[in-house]
Amino acid sequence: MKSVRLGLVGLGNMGRAHKANILAGKVKGLELTAICDLPAALEGVEEEDLAKFTDAGDMIASGKVDAIHIATPHPFHCAIGCQALEAGLHVMMEKPLAVHKAECEQLINAYHDKTKVFAAMFNQRTDPLYRKLKSLIDEGELGEIRRVQWNVTDWFRSQEYYASGGWRATWKGEGGGVLLNQCPHNLDLFQWMFGMPSEVHGFCNFGRYHQIEVEDDVSAYFRYANGCNALFVTSTGEAPGVNRLEVVGEQGLVTIEGGTIRFRRNRVPMSQFSDETFSSFGQPEVWEVDVPVTGEAGQHLEILRNFTNAILHDEKLISPAVEGIHSVELANAVLYSAWTNQTIQLPLDSSAYAAELQDRIDQSSFKKRQPRQQGGASADDFAKSF
């Protein structure tokens, strides 16, 4: 195969951005041959050489695509993804992988043909700061991780944002709020760098800052099997927000904030120092380490190029879709804990969670505020949003 024929499903904010990039030739070896959306969304599409579908199943069966990229609202990810995987297509899935863990399990079960590539759009994995931190952790530079705190409240969204997309911020339309829409990126990075906790306790405020029924303000506690404590705080209502990640390891403290990484390294691991010192108030000697970080975050384009190269040249995937179940499980566990006011042991009971979410969908009578202006987000607004 010299190039990959791609079908794009969902031509909204994200889909249109991918379409423009691919048609501009920014992803070598990836050729957009087909698009799929609801009839109204296809009306203004100028490119006549693209095959157009209003049903993803028809596109999958058409023989016109080797791969599909699913950029619909999340409740459609599972059904369309399973269909494409069963049909033996390569699949790129937007984040989150699906609305809940049971759907992720269905997707993973449908991925029989491992010669096909199944990737997810976790573009923040291309950020050199997180790549560097992950490598420091994996190589043992920080020693055993003792505490993590990530305050990521710079996901501010206005009421107009929520009003402009009918599916947004409803239990039915996306199955959650900030945890399902904005934070899949951070939760994915969290599990990518620190692994999965053994228990989760979530405190959520639902519609605290916006007229919505889902969570827009979250504080979650993750406990790891080795006793490591982690706090994850997020919101779409705070301004100015903060994005500060603090990691305490035996070997020192790393912070990422404002686009920089700082490593204050203990000369001697902190517990060893505590055990061995004769001093009551002494502290380990600390070195300010200059951690070089090179390169740019390639973001969505890098993930798409990697997907294409994985298909054509067996390149290793940056974000395999099967890993997408973890961020969904974390999001679900935080919500489940908040709904039941219990600490949730992982692995999460996926069927129990699906039933609990379904109850909320069935019982919802929430009416969202209407948009103040028609037309939705501008391309500029959208580009700044992730």
Ligand X SMILES: NC(=O)c1ccc[n+]([C@@H]2O[C@H](COP(=O)([O-])OP(=O)(O)OC[C@H]3O[C@@H](n4cnc5c(N)ncnc54)[C@H](O)[C@@H]3O)[C@@H](O)[C@H]2O)c1
Residues that bind ligand X (CB under 6 A): 9-15, 36-38, 41, 56, 71-74, 76, 94-95, 121, 123, 165, 181, 386
Q: Considering the complex, what minimum distance in angstroms separates the CB of residue 57 from ligand X? A: 10
Alpha carbons 121 and 307: distance in angstroms, whole number: 10
- Residue where the block lists tokens 């800052």: 209
Alpha carbons 306 and 313: distance in angstroms, whole number: 10
Q: Considering the complex, what minimum distance in angstroms separates the CB of residue 237 from ligand X? A: 19
Alpha carbons 287 and 265: distance in angstroms, whole number: 5
Side chain identity, residue 115? T
CA atoms within 13 A on the CB side of 158: 11
Side chain identity, residue 262? R
93 vs 256 by CB, closer to ligand X: 93
**Residue 192 near residue 134, CB atoms below 8 Å:** yes
> Which of 78, 69, 30, 122 is CA-nearest to residue 327?
122
95 vs 305 by CB, closer to ligand X: 95
Q: Considering the complex, what minimum distance in angstroms separates the CB of residue 60 from ligand X? A: 11
Peptide bond into 347 cis (omega under 30): yes
φ, ψ of residue 333 to 5 degrees: the values are: -65, -40
Q: Considering the complex, what minimum distance in angstroms separates the CB of residue 193 from ligand X? A: 19
Question: From residue 254, how far is each of 21, 107, 185, 218, 235 by CA, in Å?
Answer: 35, 36, 20, 23, 23
Report DSSP state, residue 315: P
φ, ψ of residue 133 to 5 degrees: the values are: -60, -45
- Residue where the block lists tokens 């997309």: 165
182 vs 266 by CB, closer to ligand X: 182
Query: Three-state SS for 263?
Result: strand
Residue number, nearest CB to ligand X: 12
Please give the radius of gyration of the chain, using alpha carbons only, rounded to the nearest integer: 22
Query: Three-state SS for 356?
Result: helix
94 vs 213 by CB, closer to ligand X: 94
8 vs 136 by CB, closer to ligand X: 8
Q: Considering the complex, what minimum distance in angstroms separates the CB of residue 295 from ligand X? A: 19
Length of the chain: 386
14 vs 148 by CB, closer to ligand X: 14
95 vs 360 by CB, closer to ligand X: 95
181 vs 337 by CB, closer to ligand X: 181
Query: Three-state SS for 203?
Result: strand
56 vs 214 by CB, closer to ligand X: 56
Side chain identity, residue 199? E
181 vs 266 by CB, closer to ligand X: 181
Q: Considering the complex, what minimum distance in angstroms separates the CB of residue 306 from ligand X? A: 14
Strands 51-53 and 30-36: what pairing?
A: parallel
Q: Considering the complex, what minimum distance in angstroms separates the CB of residue 156 from ligand X? A: 15
Residue 299 is inside which H or E element, if any? Answer: helix 299-313
Geometric angle at alpha carbon 204, from 200 and 210, rounded to 5°: 150
